[in-house]
Structure 1
Amino acid sequence: MNATTTTADPARRRSNATYRWIRQLHLWIGAWGALAAIIYGFSGLVMNNRFGDSAWPQGDSAETGRIELQIPAEARTSPEELSLWLRETQNLDAQVIRKGAPGGKEGKEGKARDAKQAPKWSLSGGTASASWSLEYSPGKDTAELKRSSHTLLAAINRLHKGVGGGWAWTLLADSFAIGMLLLGLSGIWMWARGRTPREMVLSVFGLSLAILAAVVVPALL
């Protein structure tokens, strides 16, 4: 019996040390991502209730100006060249570049457009509170630049969607996302410690898993 106890003691100490280490990691991650959890939780709750008769306010966005830009020939060759020209001459850094679908759809008069018509280019950028967008039709020598402003709530929602924060916000948001993953995994590990599979199934974790499956699975089918 003494031999069994002696053998079990190191294993128990290792288990306790692992638990303390993971618990401390859980606390550190929680402290790092606490503010992010509040911001993401609040903005997610707001956006999740943006439809219906009792929709929650989503903040306001207003157009602040339009200007027509003369596009030089060298900037008309590709969306990337146009983006480079905007950065160098207008101090506008395009964060999103889209090349729309080609023509061929019905116009307002019901006449089919030329199927060989080049797709429009859409470029946009700015910050969470002040944005700009530009749409260019290949072949033309001008493009219209539109600027918009966003209230605080609208700006927070834009950041939640990864819009307008720049590379620094992207890195920070990635760290928060990784932190949430580790927070969940470490929380499950600590909750499962010392519990049998049956106790896990009959616990609040099992209830949460069952409700999640009941809601998510039908939505994915």
Structure 2
Amino acid sequence: MKWLRRTHGWIGLWGAVLGLLFGSTGILLNHRAVLRIPAVQAQESTVQVPLPSPAPGSPQALAVWLKRSLRLEPEPGRVKAEAARAVAWGDKSLIQPARWSASFTSPSGNVQAEYWVGNSYVTVKRAENNVFGTLVNLHKGVGMSTAWILLVDTLAGSIILLSLSGVVLWTLTNRRRTVGIVIGTVSLLAVGGLALAAI
């Protein structure tokens, strides 16, 4: 039982360190719409960046050029190309040019680029998060590496182990109550099952 207490304590310490971060950002995430807490804010800006001559020949080349010329740190996330297509314009049919887009995402903000093939510029929208926005994005894993995701998985695992070891410790120190709770729970489940079967 001593080793279980020690293990429970160390797991609790690890869970407390990351749990403080994830608990506080979890509160912000829970209050995005109902009882809104306006802590997360982003400063947004839009610019039109002139293309070099010759212009990049593919969406991937455009993303590489944007990363280099705008000194963007994150790697391009989504790079998409939509083919040119016919669109209705009143009683006429026009050809909409191909559209390329690229996004660069990190916890501190994101950059979205949109290019209509044939234009001489790329429209770039940037959103820079405040500290709370950055922490919330860390919570969600936005723009993070596999290493971060695995680190967060250790927190989830520690919460599971903390719960299980806590239940085992409680049952070892309160055997009479444990027997009563088990009998009461089984009885409630049986009554609930019979009630559902009767419906």
TM-score range, shorter chain: 0.5 to 0.7
- Counterpart CA distance in 2 for 1:111 and 1:187 is 71
- Counterpart CA distance in 1 for 2:89 and 2:25 is 38
Unaligned runs of 5+ in 2: 190-199
- Please, which of 23, 28, 35 is the counterpart of residue 10 of structure 2? 28
- Counterpart CA distance in 2 for 1:177 and 1:84 is 36
Match of 1:134, SS state, is strand
Please report the TM-score for the alignment, with normalisation by the length of structure 1: 0.59
Work out whether residues 50 and 58 of structure 1, in 8 Å CA contact, stay in contact via their aligned partners in 2: no
> 1:98-109 residue pairs with structure 2 within 5 A?
99=80
Indicate whether 1:86 and 2:38 are aligned.
no
> 1:207-218 residue pairs with structure 2 within 5 A?
none
Residue 58 of structure 2 corresponds to which residue in structure 1?
77
- Please, which of 31, 41, 45 is the counterpart of residue 27 of structure 2? 45
Greater relative CO (CA pairs within 8 A, separation 6+): 2
- Counterpart CA distance in 1 for 2:68 and 2:84 is 30
Call closer, same or farther: CA 1:22–1:66 in 2, change over 3 Å.
farther
Indicate whether 1:148 and 2:127 are aligned.
yes
- Counterpart CA distance in 1 for 2:132 and 2:54 is 40
Residue 182 of structure 1 corresponds to which residue in structure 2?
161
Residue 74 of structure 1: how far off its partner (Å): 7.9
Call closer, same or farther: CA 1:51–1:171 in 2, change over 3 Å.
same
Select the structure that is richer in strand: 2
Residue 122 of structure 1 corresponds to which residue in structure 2?
102
Please report the TM-score for the alignment, with normalisation by the length of structure 2: 0.64
**How many residue pairs were aligned?**
183
Cα displacement string for residues 23-49 of structure 1 (whole angstroms, at most 9, x for unaligned residues): 322221221221321221121122212
- Counterpart CA distance in 2 for 1:109 and 1:26 is 70
Cα displacement string for residues 8-67 of structure 1 (whole angstroms, at most 9, x for unaligned residues): xxxxxxxxxxx4334322221221221321221121122212214x32224211214524
Indicate whether 1:57 and 2:38 are aligned.
yes
Match of 2:32, SS state, is coil
